[in-house]
Every structure is written in structure tokens, then in C-alpha cells.
């Protein structure tokens, strides 16, 4: 447990020292909130769907967590190239413990980003439907963070090229985000798109977060929680196995 805590704390220190990273990671969520929220808001309202900012706010919060979480994996490639990973791997602890510690650290950073975006949504007019369900929203935020930090870490374990990592992650992340229902309702979609949205694990994170914040759900809490927990556990297991095979 002490090793996990140390690795978790190390990730937080890295995040706190990188002011440019903190500020830069806010740009895309703010663009979606302002440009899409106010741009498509009148159209969404005329269609009888209500306030579009209220609808996309949970999706944008989930997006900020998604991007921060998956790109935390690049630190493994960075540490491998500069020799820091070797120092970690020679420690008298299992690589599974190291993997869990790094994943929890990256997930915590992603959670912080999500909370910052949540506070920003409040400033531009978003209001949760029930304050009593905020803890449920934080649970879904944490599960999204853990799941995609584990995914980013697993992919980083099999890559050595730092430039290839962002390209591969964008290839995966953009479909995960746009098919999740973060920007549009999942009801009455064409058959193939409906199938893809249900195969997308991000859909269940967005659905659970939106349900907790504005009371609008497609799958239900039980389904969302079950899918997120199961996939997170699978990705952690895969990531631990890949991390155990890293050669430095």
C-alpha cells in the first residue's frame, strides 16, 4: 500500500508542477461548452429538447476526464526513454503494484480535471438537478478516469515511440468520445450507429454521469456501473500483464 501511495503522490506532483498542461487541457472542453453549447442551443431548444448546455455539460466533463486519463500513459514512454522507469522497476515490489499506483495517480489527475470543468460549467449556467446525487456523479467520474487511465497505460506499455502514442490515442479516443452520446441523445439512432454506441464503454460513463447530474438516462445506473466496473477490471488486468513484460 505504501508503494501505491508513493506512486500516486508522484503523479499528483507531476501534475501540480505542469501549469501549462493544466491550463492547456481546459481549452478543448471550454470550446465545446461555449461554441457548441451556445451555437446549437437554440436549435436544440426549438426541437423541444430543453437547454443544450445542460445536456452537453456532463458529456464535456466526461470528455475532459477521458482525454486527461488516456494521455497520462505517455509518461511511461517518457520514463522509459529517459531511464526513470528502470529505477521504478528495480524496486522490491511487484509490477502489478506499480501499475495500480500509476493508474490511480493518473486517474486522480483526470478526476481533478473533471472537477475543474464541472466548476466551470456552473459558472456558465449549468445547474445539477439534485445535489444529493453529486456523490453518484463523482463515482462515475472516478470510474471513467480509472478505466481510461488503464487503457492509456496498457497501450503505452507496448509502444516505445513517443510520437506514435498521441496518434494512436487520437485514433481511439475521438470515436470513443463522439459515439458516446456526449454531444447527442442516444435515442432513435440509425441501426449501425446505435450498435456502435452500445459497444462504446464511454457511453455508459456519460450516461451514468448525465443521469446523476440532470436525471436523463438511457441504460440505467445498474447497467452503467456494471459495464464500467467490469471493463475497468479487465483493462487493469491487461495493463498489469503488459507492464510486467516491459523490457528496459
Q: CA–CA distance from 91 to each of 7, 75, 97 (Å)?
A: 12, 18, 11
Helix axes 134-157, 52-71, angle to 10 degrees: 40
Judged against a pLDDT cut of 70, whether residue 20 lies above it is answered with: no
Per-residue pLDDT at 110: 87
Specify the higher pLDDT residue, 171 or 202. 202
Tell me the three cell numbers of residue 136. Answer: 453518484
Convert the pLDDT of each residue in 183-207 to its tens digit: 888 887 788 888 998 999 999 999 9
Per-residue pLDDT at 210: 92
Confidence of residue 23 (pLDDT cuts 50, 70, 90): low
Specify the higher pLDDT residue, 97 or 60. 60
Per-residue pLDDT at 207: 93
Handedness of CA 179, 223, 47, 183 (dihedral sign): negative
Q: Per mean pLDDT, which range of 78-82, 174-178, 227-231 is the poorest? A: 78-82
Judged against a pLDDT cut of 80, whether residue 36 lies above it is answered with: no
pTM above 0.75, yes or no: yes
Judged against a pLDDT cut of 60, whether residue 248 lies above it is answered with: no
Convert the pLDDT of each residue in 110-169 to its tens digit: 888 899 899 988 888 888 888 888 999 999 999 999 999 888 888 887 777 767 777 777
Judged against a pLDDT cut of 90, whether residue 229 lies above it is answered with: yes
DSSP-based three-state secondary structure for 222 = helix
Displacement of CA 149 from its chain's centroid (Å): 7
Per-residue pLDDT at 159: 75
Per-residue pLDDT at 87: 60
* Average pLDDT score over residue span 93-108: 78
Q: What is the mean pLDDT of the chain?
A: 79
Specify the higher pLDDT residue, 246 or 147. 147
Tell me the three cell numbers of residue 154. Answer: 496498457
Q: Per mean pLDDT, which range of 36-40, 53-57, 103-107 is the poorest? A: 36-40
Specify the higher pLDDT residue, 89 or 130. 130
Q: CA–CA distance from 213 to each of 50, 51, 176 (Å)?
A: 15, 14, 21
Amino acid at each position: 500500500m505504501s508503494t501505491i501511495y508513493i506512486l500516486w503522490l508522484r503523479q499528483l506532483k507531476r501534475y501540480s508542477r505542469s501549469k501549462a498542461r493544466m491550463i492547456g487541457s481546459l481549452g478543448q472542453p471550454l470550446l465545446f461548452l461555449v461554441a457548441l453549447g451556445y451555437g446549437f442551443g437554440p436549435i436544440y431548444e426549438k426541437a423541444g429538447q430543453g437547454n443544450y448546455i445542460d445536456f452537453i455539460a456532463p458529456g464535456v466533463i466526461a470528455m475532459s476526464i477521458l482525454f486527461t486519463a488516456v494521455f497520462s500513459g505517455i509518461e511511461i514512454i517518457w520514463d522509459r526513454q529517459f531511464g526513470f522507469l528502470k529505477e521504478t522497476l528495480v524496486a522490491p515490489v511487484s509490477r502489478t503494484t506499480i501499475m495500480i499506483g500509476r493508474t490511480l495517480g493518473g486517474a486522480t489527475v483526470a478526476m481533478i480535471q473533471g472537477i475543474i470543468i464541472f466548476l466551470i460549467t456552473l459558472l456558465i449556467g449549468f445547474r445539477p438537478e439534485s445535489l444529493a446525487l453529486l456523490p453518484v456523479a463523482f463515482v462515475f467520474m472516478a470510474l471513467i478516469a480509472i478505466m481510461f487511465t488503464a487503457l492509456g497505460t496498457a497501450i503505452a506499455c507496448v509502444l516505445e515511440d513517443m510520437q506514435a502514442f498521441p496518434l494512436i490515442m487520437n485514433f481511439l479516443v475521438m470515436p470513443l468520445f463522439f459515439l458516446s452520446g456526449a454531444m447527442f441523445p442516444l435515442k432513435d439512432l440509425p441501426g449501425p450507429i446505435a450498435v456502435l454506441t452500445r459497444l462504446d464503454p464511454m457511453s455508459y460513463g456519460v450516461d451514468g454521469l448525465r443521469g446523476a447530474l440532470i436525471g436523463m438516462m438511457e441504460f440505467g445506473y445498474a447497467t452503467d456501473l456494471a459495464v464500467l466496473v467490469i471493463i475497468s477490471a479487465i483493462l487493469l488486468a491487461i495493463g498489469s500483464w503488459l507492464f510486467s513484460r516491459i523490457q528496459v
